[in-house]
């Protein structure tokens, strides 16, 4: 019997992406798997039912997708779908596998329930950042989309234009844009703001990114901070502690006061985003300035950010957008689907799913398996939450 992969419409409110696009269905079909797709699943992302049917997928209702699929491919597994995930959890059955973003390190109660119900879960956000898994790195794909959209939002909200213009009516000076955090999203925000003609600076706690920032035509901001050891072995920033952040805020304040727009993307994996922009720093910015805080998903880099809202303080607008990839659903879905197809492709052996726990990619992403929570970090979090409860 060939393996059946299921694609259900994403049920999270405001979620417009779909986990598989027709071209990725076609790639996986060649590996001998079958697809059941919920009617309308790709519609909000711009992929009609007919395009899935053309690739040999069977279109059906939601109940049947959950009922017949061996493996469900999702953007948001129950843990990453706070409003509707519980209903999906009910539809998942023992022995079934779900692959998608799972918020496995934060939604630990949902992880526990999945294990109890015998549902196997592979979390895309835990994909190791190793060369072999580069084409499965959905966090990077989604960060690319977010960075691009954040720059567009800044340009759209600012009461000025981004480029310098020399016209018969005079010269328009270019906008000054600072991007804080030059990881995947930040670099894309820098590139996009540059393409729109702004004068862009980039800042990051990891000095290693200086060259990347400069290669995009932006200036790298250097603060006099002792940041040796700011980067962990995986290339991520570390949590630097309150005193460090206070000093960083003091030094950043002058840089910030000169900007028309700030795009904040700084994050530390598994932690709340560091506060790098205080209320006082915002009060020193010129009225009309804009802050797009895409770290809002993790609480925000600005003290005044309200996730999902726009706040105004002294004429400065602070945007705290959530789920930016969903705002560009066609390409976000296309990139995500390719990441998923590469991942599933690496899990398939003779057309069947083989979860080889000797393989680093499986070991790092497998959260629940055969009724147990198997991921060491999630297990640790669960036992410390149990210890707290006692």
- Could you tell me the smallest distance in angstroms from the CB atom of residue 179 to ligand NAD? 10
Is there binding between residue 184 and ligand NAD (CB under 6 A)?
yes
Residue (of 327, 18, 330, 270) closest to 151 by Cα position: 327
29 binds ligand NAD (CB under 6 A): no
Position 206 contacts ligand NAD (CB under 6 A): yes
Map the footprint of ligand NAD across residues 222-241, applying CB under 6 A.
235-237
* Interaction of residue 134 with ligand NAD, rule CB under 6 A: yes
Which residue, 158 or 178, is less far from ligand NAD as judged by CB?
178
Among the listed ranges 3-11, 178-186, 323-331, 349-357, the one in contact with ligand NAD (CB under 6 A) is 178-186
Do 266 and 241 touch, CB atoms closer than 8 A?
A: no
Inter-axis angle of helices 184-195 and 138-157, to 10 degrees?
40
Which is nearer to ligand NAD, 221 or 373 (by Cβ)? 221
Residue of 23, 91, 88 lying closest to 57 (CA atoms): 23
Tokens matching residue 210: 């200086």
The reply to whether 300 sits near ligand NAD by the rule CB under 6 A is: no
Find the binder of ligand NAD among 46, 82, 118, 269 (CB under 6 A).
269
- Tell the smallest beta-carbon distance from residue 72 to ligand NAD (Å): 26
Q: Does 106 bind ligand NAD (CB under 6 A)?
A: no
φ and ψ at 131, to 5 degrees? -55, -45
Backbone angles phi, psi at 136, to 5 degrees: -110, 5
User: Does 265 sit near ligand NAD (CB under 6 A)?
Assistant: yes
When asked if residue 147 is in the footprint of ligand NAD (CB under 6 A), the reply is no
Does position 274 interact with ligand NAD (CB under 6 A)? The reply is yes
132: its two tokens:
């072999």
User: Residue 36, SS3?
Assistant: strand
Residues 6+ apart with CB under 8 A from 86: 78
- Does 204 bind ligand NAD (CB under 6 A)? Our answer is yes
DSSP string over 144-180: HHHHHHHHHHHHHHSSS-SS-EEETTEEEPPPEEEEE
Listed ranges 36-44, 135-143, 153-161, 164-172: which one lies at the site for ligand NAD (CB under 6 A)? 135-143
Does 325 help bind ligand NAD (rule: CB under 6 A)? Answer: no
Give yes or no for residue 299 binding ligand NAD (CB under 6 A): no
Evaluate whether 269 touches 238 at the Cβ level (below 8 Å): no
Q: Which helix (H) or strand (E) holds 332?
A: helix 329-347
**Residue 179 near residue 190, CB atoms below 8 Å:** yes
Binding residues for ligand NAD, rule CB under 6 A, total: 28
Q: What is the CA radius of gyration of the chain?
A: 22
Instruction: Respond yes or no: is residue 137 known to be catalytic.
Output: yes
Does residue number 205 form part of the binding site for ligand NAD (CB under 6 A)? yes
In the set 70, 236, 245, 330, the catalytic residue is: 236
Assess whether 352 carries a catalytic annotation. no
Q: Which residues are catalytic?
A: 129, 134, 137, 140, 236
Q: Which stretches of the chain bind ligand NAD, using CB under 6 A?
A: 129, 134, 137, 139-140, 143, 180-186, 203-206, 235-237, 248, 265-269, 274, 276
């Amino acid at each position: 019997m060939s393996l059946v992969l299921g694609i259900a419409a994403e049920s999270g409110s405001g979620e417009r992406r779909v986990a598989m696009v027709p071209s990725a269905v076609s790639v996986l079909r060649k590996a001998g798997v079958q697809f059941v797709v919920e009617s309308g699943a790709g519609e909000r992302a711009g992929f009609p039912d007919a395009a899935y049917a053309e690739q040999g997928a069977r279109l059906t209702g939601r109940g049947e997708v959950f009922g017949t699929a061996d493996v469900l491919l999702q953007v948001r597994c129950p843990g990453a779908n706070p409003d509707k995930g519980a209903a999906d959890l009910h539809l998942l059955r023992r022995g079934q596998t779900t692959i998608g973003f799972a918020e496995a390190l934060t939604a630990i109660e949902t992880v526990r329930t999945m294990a109890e119900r015998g549902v196997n879960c592979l979390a895309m956000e835990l994909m190791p950042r190793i060369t072999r898994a580069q084409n499965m790195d959905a966090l990077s794909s989604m960060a690319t989309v977010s960075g691009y959209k954040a720059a567009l939002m800044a340009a759209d909200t600012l009461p000025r234009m981004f480029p310098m213009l020399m016209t018969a009516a005079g010269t328009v000076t270019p906008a000054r844009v600072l991007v804080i955090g030059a990881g995947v999203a930040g670099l894309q925000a820098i590139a996009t703001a540059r393409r729109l003609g702004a004068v862009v600076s980039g800042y990051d706690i990891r000095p290693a990114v200086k060259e990347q920032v400069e290669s995009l035509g932006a200036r790298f901001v250097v603060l006099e901070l002792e940041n040796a050891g700011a980067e962990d072995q995986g290339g991520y920033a570390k949590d630097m502690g309150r005193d460090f952040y206070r000093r960083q805020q003091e030094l950043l304040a002058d840089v910030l006061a000169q900007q028309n727009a700030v795009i904040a993307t700084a994050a530390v994996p598994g932690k709340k985003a560091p506060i790098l922009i205080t209320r006082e720093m915002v009060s020193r910015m010129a009225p009309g300035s804009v802050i797009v805080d895409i770290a809002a998903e993790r609480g925000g880099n600005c003290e005044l950010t309200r996730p999902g809202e726009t706040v105004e303080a002294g004429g400065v607008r602070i945007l705290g957008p959530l789920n930016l990839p969903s705002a560009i659903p066609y390409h976000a879905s296309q990139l995500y689907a390719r990441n998923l197809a590469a991942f599933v492709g690496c899990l398939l052996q003779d057309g069947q799913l083989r979860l080889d726990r000797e393989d680093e990619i499986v070991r790092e992403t497998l959260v629940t398996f055969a009724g147990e929570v198997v991921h060491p970090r999630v297990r640790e979090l669960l036992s410390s939450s149990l210890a707290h409860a006692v």
